[in-house]
Amino acid sequence: MARAPWYTEDHDQLREQVRKFVDREIAPHIDRWDEACEFPRELYRKAGELGLLGLGFPEEYGGTPTADPFHRIVVTEELSRPGSGGLIAGLMSHGIAMPPIVALGDEALKRRVLPPVLAGEKIGALAISEPDGGSDVANIRTTARKDGDHYIVNGSKTFITSGMRADFVTTAVRTGGEGMGGISLLVIEADTPGFTRTPLAKMGWWCSDTATLYFEDCRVPIGNCVGPENHGFLGIMQNFNGERLAIAAMAVAFSRVCYDEAVAWARARNTFGRPLVTRQVIRHKLVDMAQRIESAQAYLEILAWRVGQGQWPVADVCMLKNTATQCLEFCAKEAVQILGGAGFIRGAKSERIYRETKVLSIGGGAEEIMKELAAKQLGL
């Protein structure tokens, strides 16, 4: 693909730096980590030393504030090359846990939480979904009742990425009445009495930990409230926009990984005395994959440019997420088909990605929710 004009030398340097990190620290180990259903906690520290975790965060807390959306796309593309969404989800879970603190938190909370997370010394997670509801954020049931200088938290969360490892959990709670106006965000720390968690086994994303969290009379300091009480819904919604853009970037990047693996296999594999790629049906499959990838990539980059200009076109972000995840489902399916038996055996990137496609279609707002939100934004 030709280089788009919004990529600069700075983006190229970042890509080279992250690529070396991935080739050295991740790619040689990713199959073993996936089978073990975890990756070393030390990887957070190494990523923090590289500056990877601080990309897009304020400099005073250890971040790199000059990062634009294309820096994040570059990082996502390079982290995707080993073919593990679980690695990205786990290593970068602070990317959805920390932005509300940056946007809404007071200075004391920022100083206490952000520096160790961006340095890779601590791990952050975001806890929104509950056992009886995921996308219906306005109706969460976990409660936080004031008691002196603390909140008493009761309830549970589920499908929480980095839920078992997290030191800081940015948690949506109900501090007020019904609906979106009664929601706050609290940072709940791992050592809080009454806070327990259990791991969840998953179809994919094996090397990321995913958990259900339980809060039983947890006493959380009032100072851990992220922004004004009952103003958490706005922070959650703003966060979702960034998360959806990131999911789209992951989906497009993994689509390209599937395409590249399928092309390499089709050129190397011989059937009936000829390379597989000489078969018209295979070439057409590859063209269909490339066509969808380039279309999704163009949509992603146009919206990234608009976001970089300070715009947040919500309808387009929703439609982009669906476009990108549908592209991934198609490309993963076709790549496994082209690889044949080899695509069904663990060790192929396309096999792992195929198992992981649905989590991107569901996470950050399910495909059906995205359509409905886009319809409302379009005035339909």
Is the pLDDT assigned to residue 289 strictly greater than 90? yes
In 3D space, the residue among 265, 377, 366 whose CA is nearest the CA of residue 322 turns out to be 366
Helix (H, G, I), strand (E, B) or coil at 327: helix
User: Model confidence over 4-61: pLDDT tens digits?
Assistant: 778 889 999 999 999 999 999 999 999 999 999 999 999 999 999 999 999 999 999 9
- What is the per-residue pLDDT for 3? 61
**Which residues are catalytic, by number?**
243
Portion of the chain with pLDDT greater than 90, in percent: 87
User: What residues pair up with 195 in beta bridges, in sequence order?
Assistant: 215
Residues in the chain: 380
Question: What are residue 128's DSSP bridge partners?
Answer: none
Average model confidence (pLDDT) across the chain: 94
- For the stretch 167-189, pLDDT in tens is 999 999 999 988 888 999 999 99
Query: Domains in the chain, ordered, with CATH?
Result: 9-118 (1.10.540.10), 124-233 (2.40.110.10), 234-377 (1.20.140.10)
Residue 128 reports pLDDT greater than 60: yes
User: How confident is the model at residue 134, as a pLDDT?
Assistant: 62
CA distance 187 to 99: 12
Q: How confident is the model at residue 250 (pLDDT cuts 50, 70, 90)?
A: very high
Residue 84's nearest CA partner among 180, 199, 207 is 207
